[in-house]
Amino acid sequence: MKAHIKEILLSEEQIQEKVNELAAILSEEYKDKDPVFVGVLKGVVIFFGDIIKRITAPCQIDFMWISSYEGTESAKMIVKRDISCNIEGRHVVILEDIFDTGNSLSFVH
Catalytic residue among 34, 50, 62, 100: 100
pLDDT of residue 70: 60
Give the pLDDT of the chain (109 residues) as one tens digit per residue.
577 888 889 999 999 999 999 999 999 999 999 999 999 988 889 999 999 999 999 999 999 988 766 655 556 778 888 999 999 999 999 998 765 555 555 555 5
What angle (nearest 5°) sits at the alpha carbon of residue 50, between those of residues 44 and 55? 110
Q: Residue 108: what pLDDT?
A: 54
> Is 32 one of the catalytic residues?
no
In whole angstroms, give the CA distance from residue 53 to residue 80.
26
